[in-house]
Amino acid sequence: MNKKVRWITETAIMLALLVALQALTKGFGQFVTGSCVNAVLAITVLVAGLGSGITVAVISPVLAFLLGIAPQILTVPAIMVGNTVFVVLLRLIAGESSKELGRQIAAWLVAALAKFAALYIIVVKIICGVMASSLLAAGTLKEPMLKALPATFSWPQLVTALIGGGIALLIVPVLRKALKR
């Protein structure tokens, strides 16, 4: 199969899987949906490659917002950044086809921690901290959302990235074997 066709196909399949999981788990809360999203992100980057991983990472929050999962349009760019940090670090540290368990575990832990840190800094410290008064004054952000966002974009992001990445580390070897990679 042509590399470009394979890339488009694999990326489209992972996006479709992501949309299906977001829609199916929407009612189960952040821990289930977030873990599923992070698993898809990690599987995508570790199996289909960095380009596919970044594409899914950037499109995912847009789809989440359209499905009513992302709480606020202001958070979409932040989630794009957090997801991209997650997939890039996961791929760079784990390597292209690393089967070394220690390296995979290190990649998973560093990527999860970095995603959490990026989202915490952007949403909690910048949007809900530094920019809060101007966003409230402009009507872009309402008081209830200002209070809810820090809870959503703090430690639960680390938990869901760890769960999703852990699930991916279990699934990726099976997928690689099936795909002969």
- Which is more confidently placed, 97 or 68? 68
Determine the average pLDDT of the residues in 83-102.
90
Within-domain flag for 119: no
Determine the average pLDDT of the residues in 116-127.
96
- Residue 96 pLDDT > 80: no
8 A C-beta contact, residue 9 and residue 46: no
CATH of residue 63 = 1.10.1760
Within-domain flag for 128: no
Closest by CA position to 158, among listed 101, 89, 108, 88 = 108
Structure tokens given for 138: 């402009």
Domain total for the chain? 1
8 A C-beta contact, residue 49 and residue 181: no
- Residue 97 pLDDT > 70: no
Give the pLDDT confidence score for residue 132 in this predicted structure: 85
Within-domain flag for 169: yes
pLDDT in tens, 146-157: 888 999 999 999
Within-domain flag for 25: yes
Within-domain flag for 101: yes
Structural domain of 15: 3-112+155-179
SS3 48: helix
Give me the percent of the chain exceeding a pLDDT of 90: 72
Give the pLDDT confidence score for residue 98 in this predicted structure: 67
Within-domain flag for 122: no
Structure tokens given for 58: 């950037």
pLDDT in tens, 34-78: 999 999 999 999 999 999 999 999 999 998 888 887 767 889 999
- Residue 144 pLDDT > 90: no
CA–CA dist 119, 158 (Å, integer): 10
Apex 38 CA angle, 36 and 42, nearest 5: 120
- Residue 142 pLDDT > 90: no
